Amino acid sequence: MAVPETFFNIFPTWIGVYGLAITMFSISFILFYKRVITHISNSIYNLDFSNIETKFKNVLTNGLFQKKVLQRTSFTKDRSGIGHVIIFISFLSYALSYILFIFADSINSNFSKVVLGTFLKNLYLSYLEILAILVFIALITALIRRWILIPNRLKFSLTKKPESIIIIVLIASLMLTHLLTESVNHLIKPETAYSFNFISEYLSKPFKSLNYDINSYILLHDLFWWIHLTIILSFAVYIPISKHLHLLVSPMSFFFGNTKSSGIIDTPLNLEEMETFGANNLRTFKPKQIMDFFACAVCGRCSEVCPTNLTDKELSPMHFINNLMQSSSKTEEDLNIGVIDNQVSKTEIWDCLNCGACVNECPVGIEHISPIIDMRRHLVMEKSEMPKTAESTLLSLEQGGHPWRGTTFTRSDWHKDLNVKTISDNPDAEYLLWVGCTGALVERNQKVIKSLVKILNSANVNFAILSNEETCTGDPAKRIGNEYLFQILANQNIQNFIKYDIKKIITHCPHCLNTIKNEYPALGFKAEVINYTELITKLIDQKDLIPTNETSKSVSYHDPCFLGRHNKIYEEPRDIVDSIPGMKRMEMCKNKDKALCCGAGGGHMWIEESNEKRVSHLRTDEFLETKSDTLAVACPFCLQMFEEGISAKSQSDKEVKDIAELLEESIEENK
């Protein structure tokens, strides 16, 4: 790559390069600062810089190594990730090359040759040329994909904005001008040694045939060179004003992103001193959330998998994030009014099921659930505004310590005639079995806990329960947005855990698992918390549990969001089913981390859906497609939702069973 000596004989190149670069980068920086940084710094919350090593690792894995971009990529189904990786790699490669080839060489034109050596330099240039061709292919496929083929996730008007064409044109012209510069360069200073630049050599032929004199070729070369430089620097200015902002902001999102379970919601410990509860404008959103609003690359992956979007509800994660981003361009006055009912509707806020499908898919690190919960906190804790059923659930939690208003059971009814000891009667128990509100107080779910208890007894597990001393983990309160009530309930439980010196907890319900394991530590409680499937697979492996009774049932297992996607427990429930003699297991079309929510998350066990299309029915249809007899679940909410779904579709020959129930049917009657 040859740097022109002057800008068409007017001034030395380096003045032009540095002058233009400084100007454009300054403009770009100012734009970026005004658009993004001011809002991040205006937030009343501070950035968290703890665990820097983990943070850097996250940027590396997802930023540099594009892990989330590629997580759905397969050569047969979804190749869009490959295209992005090509463009990403070429962006990095070219950017790197500019340091030497433009900025250094414009001061001393031999700099790069001296540093790299001719061999390496030409090799790199050849690499850049190959990349250019690959980028062209990627850009053409991108164009065809977004504007002609239009897959599901690009069907929105948001994804059809001219921005994407502008970016394609800019990148294409960058590649083009680079190739043109290099091809004309061959006619000025043909390389004798180490010439690998076959592509540009080939492209030089049409120029050669023009038969210009050398000065004309120099002019042409310089023209292409300066155009290329201008385009790069214009790009720098275009980044902060387009969705290409994700280039700068996505690494920030990954840096400050959550690397633990995606099911965790923050637990602010200083509620009493807080200026305001929850968030309703950019001042009250947290810095990481604000970064997320700007990081969106409008790819549509989140909305494609969002259960509420799939059932035509108002909430679509991509639009939601973009609307919040739009709030940044409002005046100070408007900002004080708040985003709720302006950029974002209450329906959208309450639609969310907290299933995490969006967070899981997002290639730029956006955590959509976090601002939704903060807005719920604003509505509930500042304004006391929420759906009626959410309100009565909170009242039930406040007065009775459980969300099941109207239940006629107490927490000791289900184990009246069973061989189960309370922790006060069995203080040396190895495990505390955390029953949960649903398992104790809802009749259908009591059957599941009874099955689990029988299984644990037959394997001689030394466990005990809290019975009437249990109170709700507080998860429904937290998800509905009443963080205060959550902490009161949680602290009650933690006090009991301390009182009984609890070290190991088995949970049945995945929501209880998530809360006690992942969120109670913020309140000072740490113990080994496992899901029952984790213990049972171990017991089966150790032959403490031997499923013997054969069955001819065919089964499909539904991954509960809070067990699977949020806490990455996929194999254990499947292993248990597979250990049952004769049981045939068939996967559903969307499984493991792609499983569709049953519809009861995010407080929706108690909040009405905002339209007639029920998420649970959608997932029930996906089960019915498998033609299995039994839908196996591992969550008390999923059990209720699917039993309703199956009965609504009049499929009386299908059944819904918890893994514990299926296993209990198979173990021999012991003791």
Partner 1 sequence: MNILSVIINENETFNLSSLEIFSFIDELKCENKITSIVFGGEKSVIAKIPCDEIVYVPLNSSVALNPNDVLFSIDKFMDNNLFDLIIFQKDDISNYVSPALSFRKKIPYLPDVKKIISKDNKSFKFVRPVHGESAEGIYSVDSTSPLIIKIRKSSFEPKQLNENEKPVNEIILNKNLEKSFKIIETKKIKPKGIQLDDADVVISGGRGVGSSEGFEKIKELANLLNGAVGASRAAVESEWIETSQLVGLTGKWINPALYFTFGISGASQHLAGCINSKNIVAVNTDPEASIFNHSKYGIIADCNEFIAEVIEEIKNIQ
Partner 2 sequence: MKICVCIKEVPDSDVPSNKLRIDQENNKIIPIENVSSIVNGFDLNAVELALRFSENYDDASISIISIGNDLTSDVIKKPLAMGADDIITCEDPIIDKLDIYGISFILSKIIEKTGPYDIIFCGRHASDFDNASTPFGISEILSIPLINIVKNITIKGEKLLIDRVITDGFQTIEADLPLIITTGSQVGDPRYPTLRGIMNASKKEIKKITLNELGISELSIAPKIQIEKLYFPENENKVEIIKGSNNKEKAINLLSKLKEEGVI
Task: Decide whether 407 or 533 has the Cβ nearer to partner 2.
Answer: 407
Could you tell which of partner 1, partner 2, none binds residue 106, using a CB distance below 5 to 8 A set by kind? none
Spatial distance between the Cα atoms of 151 and 168, rounded to a whole number of angstroms:
18
Binder of partner 2 out of 406, 543, 669, 671 (CB under 8 A): 406
Q: Find the shortest distance in angstroms from Cβ 386 to partner 1.
A: 16
Per rule CB under 8 A, is residue 406 in the interface with partner 1? yes
Per rule CB under 8 A, is residue 110 in the interface with partner 2? no
In this structure, are residues 245 and 294 in contact, taking their beta carbons and an 8 Å threshold?
Answer: yes
The Cβ of residue 432 has, within 10 Å, a number of other Cβ atoms equal to: 24
Could you tell which of partner 1, partner 2, none binds residue 468, using a CB distance below 5 to 8 A set by kind? partner 2
β-bridge partners, 630 = 555, 655
Spatial distance between the Cα atoms of 198 and 204, rounded to a whole number of angstroms:
10
What does the block give as tokens for 586? Answer: 């068939």
What does the block give as tokens for 598? Answer: 């049953």
| Window 451 to 480, contacts with partner 2 (CB under 8 A) | 468
Sequence-ordered list of residues with C-beta below 8 angstroms from that of 50, at least 6 positions apart, any chain: none
Binder of partner 2 out of 109, 410, 426, 496 (CB under 8 A): 410
Binder of partner 2 out of 12, 81, 400, 521 (CB under 8 A): 400
| Window 295 to 324, contacts with partner 1 (CB under 8 A) | none
Spatial distance between the Cα atoms of 447 and 655, rounded to a whole number of angstroms:
14
Task: Report which secondary-structure segment, H or E, holds 12.
Answer: strand 11-12
In this structure, are residues 106 and 48 in contact, taking their beta carbons and an 8 Å threshold?
Answer: no
* Residue whose token pair is 């107490």: 410
Q: Find the shortest distance in angstroms from Cβ 46 to partner 2.
A: 22
- Total residues binding partner 1 (CB under 8 A): 4
Task: Decide whether 394 or 660 has the Cβ nearer to partner 2.
Answer: 394
Q: Find the shortest distance in angstroms from Cβ 413 to partner 1.
A: 9
- Total residues binding partner 2 (CB under 8 A): 26
Q: How far is CA 272 from the centre of its chain?
A: 31
Q: Find the shortest distance in angstroms from Cβ 499 to partner 2.
A: 15
Helices (H), strands (E): how many in the chain? Answer: 30, 10
Q: Find the shortest distance in angstroms from Cβ 653 to partner 2.
A: 14
| DSSP letter, residue 393 | H
The Cβ of residue 462 has, within 10 Å, a number of other Cβ atoms equal to: 11
Spatial distance between the Cα atoms of 380 and 236, rounded to a whole number of angstroms:
43
Spatial distance between the Cα atoms of 291 and 37, rounded to a whole number of angstroms:
9
Could you tell which of partner 1, partner 2, none binds residue 443, using a CB distance below 5 to 8 A set by kind? partner 1
Binder of partner 2 out of 408, 419, 552, 650 (CB under 8 A): 408
* Residue whose token pair is 């100012």: 30
Sequence-ordered list of residues with C-beta below 8 angstroms from that of 511, at least 6 positions apart, any chain: 436, 473, 475, 562, 635, 637
Task: Report which secondary-structure segment, H or E, holds 531.
Answer: strand 528-531
Q: Taking contact as CB under 8 A, which single stretch among the options 216-224, 401-409, 445-453, 493-501 is the one that binds partner 2?
A: 401-409
Per rule CB under 8 A, is residue 647 in the interface with partner 2? no
| Window 274 to 303, contacts with partner 2 (CB under 8 A) | 277
Q: Find the shortest distance in angstroms from Cβ 408 to partner 1.
A: 7
Binder of partner 2 out of 177, 360, 482, 515 (CB under 8 A): 482
Composition of the chain by helix, strand, coil, percent to 5: 60, 5, 35
| Cα–Cα distance list, 412 to 281, 437, 505 (Å) | 46, 11, 19
Task: Decide whether 377 or 566 has the Cβ nearer to partner 2.
Answer: 377
Q: Find the shortest distance in angstroms from Cβ 407 to partner 2.
A: 8
| Cα–Cα distance list, 581 to 99, 337, 556, 610 (Å) | 65, 62, 15, 43
Task: Decide whether 50 or 650 has the Cβ nearer to partner 1.
Answer: 650
Per rule CB under 8 A, is residue 162 in the interface with partner 1? no
Task: Decide whether 43 or 482 has the Cβ nearer to partner 2.
Answer: 482
Per rule CB under 8 A, is residue 655 in the interface with partner 2? no
| DSSP letter, residue 328 | G
Task: Decide whether 443 or 541 has the Cβ nearer to partner 1.
Answer: 443
Per rule CB under 8 A, is residue 399 in the interface with partner 1? no
Sequence-ordered list of residues with C-beta below 8 angstroms from that of 114, at least 6 positions apart, any chain: none
Per rule CB under 8 A, is residue 386 in the interface with partner 2? yes
Task: Decide whether 443 or 621 has the Cβ nearer to partner 1.
Answer: 443
Q: Find the shortest distance in angstroms from Cβ 418 to partner 1.
A: 17
* Residue whose token pair is 């039994």: 630
- Picking from 301, 349, 259, 286, the residue whose alpha carbon sits closest to that of residue 602 is 349
Provide the pairing of β-strand 584-585 with 630-633.
Answer: unpaired
Per rule CB under 8 A, is residue 653 in the interface with partner 1? no
Per rule CB under 8 A, is residue 141 in the interface with partner 2? no
Count Cβ atoms within 10 A of the Cβ of residue 160 and give its class: 0-12 exposed, 13-18 middle, 19 or more buried. Answer: middle
Task: Decide whether 341 or 443 has the Cβ nearer to partner 1.
Answer: 443
| Cα–Cα distance list, 619 to 117, 411, 448 (Å) | 61, 31, 22
Spatial distance between the Cα atoms of 472 and 412, rounded to a whole number of angstroms:
14
Site map (CB under 8 A) of partner 1, residues 591-630, x = contact: ----------------------------------------
Q: How far is CA 330 from the centre of its chain?
A: 27
Q: Find the shortest distance in angstroms from Cβ 560 to partner 2.
A: 30
Q: Find the shortest distance in angstroms from Cβ 490 to partner 2.
A: 16
Three-state secondary-structure class, residue 503: coil
Binder of partner 1 out of 408, 542, 548, 552 (CB under 8 A): 408
Per rule CB under 8 A, is residue 443 in the interface with partner 1? yes
Q: Taking contact as CB under 8 A, which single stretch among the options 2-10, 134-142, 301-309, 386-394 is the one that binds partner 2?
A: 386-394
Spatial distance between the Cα atoms of 89 and 86, rounded to a whole number of angstroms:
5
Q: Find the shortest distance in angstroms from Cβ 465 to partner 1.
A: 21
Q: Find the shortest distance in angstroms from Cβ 658 to partner 1.
A: 19
Q: Find the shortest distance in angstroms from Cβ 396 to partner 2.
A: 8
Q: Taking contact as CB under 8 A, which single stretch among the options 159-167, 252-260, 391-399, 505-513 is the one that binds partner 2?
A: 391-399
Binder of partner 2 out of 192, 399, 419, 542 (CB under 8 A): 399
Per rule CB under 8 A, is residue 192 in the interface with partner 1? no
Task: Report which secondary-structure segment, H or E, holds 401.
Answer: none
Per rule CB under 8 A, is residue 379 in the interface with partner 2? no
Residue ranges in contact with partner 2 by CB under 8 A: 271-272, 277, 380-384, 386, 388, 391, 394-396, 398-400, 405-406, 408, 410-412, 468, 482, 484
Residue ranges in contact with partner 1 by CB under 8 A: 406, 408, 443, 647
